[in-house]
Amino acid sequence: MIALIQAGGAGTRLKSITGDTLLKPMVPIGGKPILEHQVISLARSGVEHIWMVCPGHTNQIEDYFGDGSKWGVSIHYFKELIPLGTGGALFYAAKVFKEDFFLLFGDLMLDIDFGRFMKFHKAHNSIITTFAHPNSHPYDSDVLVPGENSKVVHLLSKKEPRDFYYENLTNAGVYVVSKELLDTFLDLDEPVKMDFEKELLMPSIYADGVYAYRSSEYVKDCGTPDRYESVGRDLEKGVVESRNLRNKQRAIFLDRDGVINKFGNFVKKADALVLKEDAPGALKRINESPFLAICITNQPVVARGETTFGELKQIHDKMQVLLGERGSYLNGLYFCPHHPDKGFEGEVPELKFDCDCRKPKIGMLLKAKEDFNIDLEKSWFVGDTKQDVQTGINANCRTILITSGDPNPDGKYPNAKPDFICKDLAEAVDIIFKEEGVN
């Protein structure tokens, strides 16, 4: 595997840290330049050759990294004599690269299992695969709009007004780019300035060639003093490395109704969804810990014909927008639309069966386990019914029952005994962090 890192760029917004001369990718975090953290992560994934696009006026990067042997990789350089924007340097790569490659921007702190990323890219045969994740500020981020099978159908620019609900799925700025796209540069006689997003990513989206690789791994921009500080803290706490999907993950699985949103009757339309007061703050604490936040919900309203898949998507998009406005997010969301009992007026017959995902069965947890490499035995399940507690027990998770309503409305699972009982998600997070020694 090979990679291209765009390592130009002066740290104008980081002047207080970089001074006048240090390049942004050379800004140290935890004693190493950001760029070195990238090289280490690439090397650990088995990437053998790394090309860096460096500015013409200084040799800072070349002097530091040399031929890369210190990191067990071969590092090569493209010298950018005139600034070519975020995409123009692909002109040089087109002449050398013989395979699909990772494209990184040098101001991102990251630790990714690149092999897993490439496997997804190959399986989808993408022109460009973009690393996609929820973040704590979707409202001022570019957001990917995914269609079927993770194909990206649109990129919502942060500059466009958004008076609608959308999935919190932002474009992290890390890509796998196909050789096929690179070959379009072979027609050029000389490099031209080019914007990667506008002139390469957008047209590839409209050519149906871009797929979103959803991941919970750590990728964060450190371009402002605030973000720089927070990335430094994450590195110190071990969150950056522990999130790499090569490592087993720990999750806090959350029921939806009565845990994240208020539960009166079933929520059948987006209008009816109201967050519980404590939920965004509690989720934010999970987001900043080594745990993943994953929602697991039964939504038999779909099988009963009371809510369509489209309406359920609206409900979930609204939930993510509201959480995002308060700086929090879910790493994953799984729902079961099925229901076993036939005989409701307007029901959807093909969803009426005894599936493997409806809680207390653990189909959704097993899917999450596969998607995020989760160790279920080191994970927690938080819900407001005995059915949730039984689900957690069935999956060997530790369990917490939230007392927000009747915990056992249908009288099933009387023997499901939670490890802890408390009043809301905020308290549940207190308990989990205390038990797990998370600060």
Q: Segment contacting Zn ion (CB under 5 A): 19-27, 204-212, 249-257, 356-364?
A: 356-364
CB of 365 to Zn ion, least distance (A): 12
Does residue number 358 form part of the binding site for Zn ion (CB under 5 A)? yes
Element (H, E) at 192: none
Does residue number 401 form part of the binding site for Zn ion (CB under 5 A)? no
Q: Give the count of beta carbons closer than 10 Å to the beta carbon of residue 351.
A: 17
Instruction: Select from 12, 40, 38 the least CA-distant residue to 105.
Output: 38
Q: Segment contacting Zn ion (CB under 5 A): 18-26, 35-43, 155-163, 329-337?
A: 329-337
Does residue number 352 form part of the binding site for Zn ion (CB under 5 A)? no
CA angle 80, 82, 83 (to 5 degrees): 80
**CB-nearer residue toward Zn ion: 247 or 308:** 308
**Pairwise CA distance, residues 437 & 153, whole Å:** 42
CB of 353 to Zn ion, least distance (A): 8
Element (H, E) at 147: none
Catalytic center residues: 255, 257
Does residue number 357 form part of the binding site for Zn ion (CB under 5 A)? yes
In the range 332-351, which residues lie near Zn ion by CB under 5 A?
336, 338
Asked if 375 contacts 247 with a C-beta cutoff of 8 angstroms, the reply is no
Q: Segment contacting Zn ion (CB under 5 A): 53-61, 68-76, 316-324, 354-362?
A: 354-362
Instruction: Select from 339, 323, 342 the least CA-distant residue to 331.
Output: 323
Among 17, 40, 145, 355, the residue binding Zn ion under the rule CB under 5 A is: 355
**CB-nearer residue toward Zn ion: 124 or 358:** 358
**Pairwise CA distance, residues 217 & 132, whole Å:** 10
CB of 361 to Zn ion, least distance (A): 8
Does residue number 318 form part of the binding site for Zn ion (CB under 5 A)? no
Q: Segment contacting Zn ion (CB under 5 A): 181-189, 215-223, 357-365, 408-416?
A: 357-365
The SS3 of residue 434 is helix
Torsion of CA 411, 412, 416, 422, to 10 degrees: -50
CB of 348 to Zn ion, least distance (A): 12
328 burial (CB, 10 Å; 0-12 / 13-18 / 19+) is: buried
Question: What is the identity of the amino acid at 46?
Answer: G
Task: Give the total of residues touching Zn ion (CB under 5 A).
Answer: 5
**CB-nearer residue toward Zn ion: 145 or 355:** 355
Instruction: Please report, as ranges, the residues that interact with Zn ion according to CB under 5 A.
Output: 336, 338, 355, 357-358
